[in-house]
Amino acid sequence: DAKTTQPTSMDCAEGRAANLPCNHSTISGNEYVYWYRQIHSQGPQYIIHGLKNNETNEMASLIITEDRKSSTLILPHATLRDTAVYYCIVRVAKNRDDKIIFGKGTRLHILP
């Protein structure tokens, strides 16, 4: 699976848009970009995923560059409850292997 690179930590002011970058320069054509987050020690929470088109749901937007080598997760109006570790994951199902591999993620601090 392609490796992802994320900043270790980021700060964002409450009410502002939080833009979390992710590099996945070795991504291949059948690999999806997923974002999960983990609030404190809770279970990972699915946020959004995409292949090559930009995606938006009620939680966030995912912007994938045209060459697919990087992406940005956007939380449009961050709240204190968005403080969490955010994981960018590339995922491919090959043979019987479709597990999600978590890295270290980005620790996002929302500042009041």
Map the footprint of another protein across residues 57-86, applying CB under 8 A. none
Among 67, 69, 82, residue whose Cα is nearest residue 22: 69
Q: How many CB atoms within 10 Å of residue 66?
A: 6
Among the listed ranges 6-14, 17-25, 59-67, 87-95, the one in contact with another protein (CB under 8 A) is: 87-95
Q: Partners of 90 in the beta sheet?
A: 33
Is residue 25 within 8 Å of residue 69, measured between CB atoms? yes
CB of residue 107 to another protein, shortest distance in Å:
12
Each residue 33-62 as x (binds another protein by CB under 8 A) or -, in order, gives -x---x--xxxxxx--x-x-----------
Distance between CA atoms of residues 3 and 22, nearest Å: 10
Residue pair 34/99 in contact (Cβ under 8 Å)? The answer is no
Closest distance to another protein from the beta carbon of 58 (Å): 12
- According to the binding rule CB under 8 A, does residue 96 interact with another protein? yes
Chain positions contacting another protein, by CB under 8 A? 30-32, 34, 38, 41-46, 49, 51, 87, 91-93, 96-104
